[in-house]
Amino acid sequence: MPNDDGASIDAPHPCSPARSPLPALASFDLKGCRGGRFRAQAITSHTPQPGDIVSCYFPFDESPKRPGPRPRPGLVMGLRHDAAILFLDVAYGTSQCVEELQPPDLAVLAEEDWKKAGLHMPTKFVIGRRRMLPYVHGFFRAEKRGSPILGSLPAPTLENHSGRTT
């Protein structure tokens, strides 16, 4: 499916795992999530692209289909469409142990870079810890501009990210 620029947004990132069937939105546990009755409503703002950093409720490993308790940065690695919903392949972001990288992790350490990316501090993205999340209000937090997109990494950073710092 093409985006506004005519480029395909279904193309996986080279480090993306092999495609598997997308889970049904009904299989995600959105009960009790913030957002009340709108928690499963699709977000209609600008569609994130690979390399964008989003504010998401990244799920715990024990409950991969339930939003996590607090928003954290996530790095969009790819996009996939199901019949009615967009799914984002999101890598986990943390400010803990940012200088301890395991390939293919990516760290944004330079203040100029993390500020441009919409982050508040140096951040590490754990590329090996990713989830395919439905692009709905229960999993993503819209910021002041009405979009969950915080910023983005420069394209070369994402393309050459194997254990790289910026």
The one-digit pLDDT tens for each residue of the chain (166 residues) are 444 444 334 444 444 445 566 666 666 766 655 544 445 566 777 889 999 999 999 999 888 888 999 999 999 999 998 777 889 999 999 999 998 888 899 999 989 989 989 999 999 999 999 999 999 888 999 877 788 999 998 665 665 554 444 4
Per domain, the residue ranges of the chain are: 53-165
One-letter amino acid at 51 equals: G
Backbone angles phi, psi at 127, to 5 degrees: -65, -30
pTM of the model: 0.76
- The alpha helices in the chain, defined as continuous H runs, are 111-116, 155-159
Q: Regarding the domain delimited by 53-165, which CATH topology (the fold level of the hierarchy) does it fall under?
A: SH3 type barrels. (2.30.30)
Residue 12 is predicted with a pLDDT of 47
d(CA 51, CA 11): 13
- The per-residue b/e assignment along 44-79, b for 16 or more CB within 10 angstroms, e otherwise, is eeebbbbbbbbbbbbbeeeeeebbeeebbbbbbbbb
Beta bridge partners, 111, equal none
